């Protein structure tokens, strides 16, 4: 040690050696002498080195700051630490538990390919020559909303491996899928949907493990202004932990703007989400809806009457489990019986062989969700149709 008057000597056979058990934060002098068989050289000139601060004091970085934040980037900086060789910057989406490390030699780093409109956590620790500091306290920043593209905000699940959207059916759209990694842009799929008539959304969840509770929401940009924030644009909001098809009624109001617009289906684990939210677990899928005034169904009593059946009674109405139908037939005939929803989608179809005289049969409807339906009795092009309500 430079402050000591005593040299410590060490016999070395090679040309290097490790000095151990040194005192921290101390300056040492070093000199080397060659030892031969019969004599020794004089000592070399003295060189100095200084040990680092007390073992374990590789200081935690301070002054963390996030600047130049865009929808996908943020510049992170912090104050330099004495003795630092490099730093480990870690960051993650706040909803995630997995930190992503970056080794940084300076005191600033720009994170890129971030998710828009998301809150991130970050922290930094110092790497010194022989040890490293603890991580700094966690700081946060939030990326901006996405600026480009469709104009619609983004929404996605960070993890869609446990639960995801496995089916969406609206009008003529019927997409089955596995996990799409948290978001799928299905806006290339489009269906006309009439306003002013009750419609059915079919949604289904996929699960890799237990059936956890998903909070489903459906938005349609009814006024086509590029967002889902206007009154009435949240059309479905319901929770389910079923992996079966779920039938949900919704209604496009007469005030909706006619034409193509965006529909967003969101299935978020554990809580309802916002239309622009990035969340931990679940999935989001976007579709195109063409809002129309076309009904596509014969009004009640229209069309060619099926006059060989009479005195038709349908009960109870509203119906719970079984819809009973009685009628009188003038002759034997085959009837095709359908139950359709208000979009015209056939949900049940049966063949019934009517006898001459009194006929009675029942159609189980317990699996239908509550709402209005149409019973259709057909024989060739002859048709009778009746409305009924499925109760809770």
Site residues (vs Ca ion, CB under 5 A): 164-165, 177, 180, 221, 223, 225, 227, 230
- Name the minimum Å distance from CB 222 to Ca ion: 6
- Name the minimum Å distance from CB 280 to Ca ion: 17
- Cα Rg of the chain, angstroms: 36
Residue 5, by phi and psi: left (phi above 0), alpha (psi -120 to 50) or beta?
A: alpha
> Closest residue (Cβ) to Ca ion?
177
Distance CA 42, CA 12 (A): 16
Q: Give the nearer residue to Ca ion in terms of CB position, either 101 or 149.
A: 149
Q: Which are the contacts of 287, defined by CB distance < 8 A and separation ≥ 6?
A: 168, 170, 173, 175, 186, 187, 189, 190, 191, 262, 263, 264, 265
Asked whether the beta carbons of 355 and 329 are under 8 A apart, the reply is: yes
Q: Which two tokens stand for residue 127?
A: 């790497």
Q: Give the nearer residue to Ca ion in terms of CB position, either 136 or 266.
A: 266
Distance CA 95, CA 179 (A): 19
Per DSSP bridges, beta strands 382-390 and 371-379 are: antiparallel
- Name the minimum Å distance from CB 93 to Ca ion: 20
Q: Give the nearer residue to Ca ion in terms of CB position, either 217 or 384.
A: 217
- Name the minimum Å distance from CB 152 to Ca ion: 10
- Name the minimum Å distance from CB 156 to Ca ion: 11
- Name the minimum Å distance from CB 103 to Ca ion: 36
Helix (H) or strand (E) holding 104: strand 100-104
Q: Give the nearer residue to Ca ion in terms of CB position, either 124 or 153.
A: 153
Q: Give the nearer residue to Ca ion in terms of CB position, either 265 or 335.
A: 265
3-state secondary structure 147-199: CCCCCCCCCEEEECCCEEEEEEEECCEEEECCCCCCEEEEEEEEEEEECCCEE
Which neighbouring-strand residues pair with 247?
A: 202
Q: Give the nearer residue to Ca ion in terms of CB position, either 99 or 250.
A: 250
Q: Give the nearer residue to Ca ion in terms of CB position, either 174 or 310.
A: 174
Distance CA 349, CA 112 (A): 54
- Name the minimum Å distance from CB 267 to Ca ion: 9
Q: Give the nearer residue to Ca ion in terms of CB position, either 236 or 363.
A: 236
Look at residue 379 and give its three-state secondary structure. strand
Question: Which of 219, 206, 201 lies closest to 269, judged by CA?
Answer: 206
- Name the minimum Å distance from CB 92 to Ca ion: 24
């Amino acid at each position: 040690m430079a402050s000591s008057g005593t040299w410590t000597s060490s016999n070395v056979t090679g040309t290097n050696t490790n000095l151990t058990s040194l005192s921290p934060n101390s300056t040492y002098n070093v000199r080397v002498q060659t030892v031969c068989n019969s004599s020794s050289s004089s000592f070399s000139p003295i060189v100095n080195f200084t040990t680092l601060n007390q073992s374990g004091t590789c200081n935690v970085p301070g002054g963390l700051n996030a600047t130049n934040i865009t929808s996908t980037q943020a510049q992170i900086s912090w104050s330099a630490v004495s003795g630092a060789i490099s730093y480990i910057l870690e960051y993650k989406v706040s909803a995630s538990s997995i930190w992503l490390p970056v080794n940084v030699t300076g005191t600033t780093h720009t994170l890129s390919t971030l998710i828009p409109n998301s809150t991130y956590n970050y922290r930094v620790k110092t790497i010194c020559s022989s040890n490293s500091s603890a991580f700094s306290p966690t700081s946060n920043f939030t990326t901006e909303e996405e600026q480009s593209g469709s104009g619609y905000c983004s929404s996605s699940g960070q993890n869609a491996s446990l639960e995801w959207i496995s089916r969406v059916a609206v009008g003529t759209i019927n997409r089955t899928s596995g996990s799409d990694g948290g978001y799928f842009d299905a806006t290339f799929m489009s269906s006309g949907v009439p306003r002013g008539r009750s419609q059915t959304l079919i949604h289904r969840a996929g699960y890799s493990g237990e059936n956890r509770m998903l909070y489903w929401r459906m938005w349609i940009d009814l006024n086509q202004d590029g967002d889902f924030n206007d009154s009435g644009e949240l059309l479905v909001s319901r929770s389910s932990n079923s992996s079966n098809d779920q039938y949900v009624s919704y209604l496009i109001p007469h005030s909706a703007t006619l034409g193509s617009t965006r529909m967003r289906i969101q299935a978020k684990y554990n809580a309802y989400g916002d239309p622009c939210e990035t969340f931990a677990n679940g999935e989001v899928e976007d579709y195109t809806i063409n809002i129309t005034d076309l009904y596509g169904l014969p009004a009640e009593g229209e069309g060619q009457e099926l006059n060989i059946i009479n005195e038709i009674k349908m009960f109870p109405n509203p119906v719970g489990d079984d819809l009973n139908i009685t009628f009188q037939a003038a002759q034997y005939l085959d009837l095709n019986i359908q139950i359709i929803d208000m979009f015209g989608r056939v949900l049940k179809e049966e063949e019934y062989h009517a006898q001459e005289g009194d006929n009675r049969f029942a159609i189980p409807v317990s699996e239908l969700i509550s709402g209005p339906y149409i019973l259709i009795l057909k024989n060739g092009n002859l048709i009778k149709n009746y409305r009924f309500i499925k109760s809770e």
